[in-house]
């Protein structure tokens, strides 16, 4: 015995047949599916850092713009408040900065890879994430509808039915 591996000829023929069948199946797929499942669209996992760098940039920009806007709308002589939206944005910025640090100095990367579509979705996620904190604040940036006046005392008390005379 030389310690070699004994291979049965039938096993080799079966494996060759399976590979040929699998390759035929791949050729029958639409071109878009072949492209999306190919290895040419793989990105090294070391690029996770880009997620967090994009997130830090977007969050920092939004944080600064929000502070500038709040100062612009403040009445003269009022004290500046650090509200819950600013706190949440600051905490997100802290988290993303910590993740950048981990990617650069703590994590040891292997040879793993991810699909380019997953990479693009990850970057998009971290760029859009800070906008979650722009809800219905006093000066909301998005979805500005016409302001609806508060109900009159007559409407709050249940008055103002079909026979009520409107206030002038």
Instruction: Quick: pLDDT tens for 64-105.
Output: 888 787 777 776 666 666 678 888 888 999 999 999 999 999
pLDDT at residue 6 tops 90: no
Burial 123-146 (b: 16+ CB within 10 A, else e): beebbebbeebbeeeeeeeeeeee
34 HSE (CA, 13 A, CB side): 10
Q: What is the pLDDT of residue 116?
A: 87
Q: Which residue from 140, 32, 5 is spatially nearest to 83, judged by alpha carbons?
A: 140
Task: Find out whether 47 and 122 touch, Cβ atoms under 8 Å.
Answer: no
What tokens does 156 get? 């709050």
Question: Exposed, middle or buried: residue 49 (CB in 10 Å: 0-12, 13-18, 19+)?
Answer: middle
Helices (H), the chain: 9-28, 31-36, 48-73, 84-101, 116-128, 153-156
Domain ranges of the chain: 42-135
User: Residue range 105-132: average pLDDT?
Assistant: 89
Distance of CA 10 to the CA centre of its chain: 51
Contact 115, 41 (CB under 8 A): yes
Predicted pLDDT of residue 4: 59
Assessment of whether the complete model's pTM goes beyond 0.75: no
């Amino acid at each position: 015995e030389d310690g070699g591996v004994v291979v049965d000829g039938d096993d080799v023929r079966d494996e060759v047949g399976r590979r040929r069948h699998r390759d035929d199946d791949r050729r029958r797929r639409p071109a878009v599916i072949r492209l999306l499942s190919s290895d040419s669209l793989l990105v090294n996992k070391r690029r996770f850092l880009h997620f967090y760098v994009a997130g830090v940039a977007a969050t920092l920009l939004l944080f600064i713009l929000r502070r500038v806007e709040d100062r612009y709308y403040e009445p003269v002589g009022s004290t500046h408040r650090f509200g819950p939206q600013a706190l949440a944005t600051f905490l997100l910025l802290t988290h993303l900065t910590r993740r950048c640090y981990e990617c650069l100095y703590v994590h040891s990367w292997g040879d793993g890879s991810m699909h380019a579509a997953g990479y693009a979705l990850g970057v998009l996620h971290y760029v859009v994430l800070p906008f979650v904190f722009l809800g219905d604040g006093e000066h909301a940036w998005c979805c500005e509808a016409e302001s609806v006046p508060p109900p009159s005392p007559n409407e709050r008390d249940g008055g103002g039915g079909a026979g009520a005379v409107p206030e002038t």
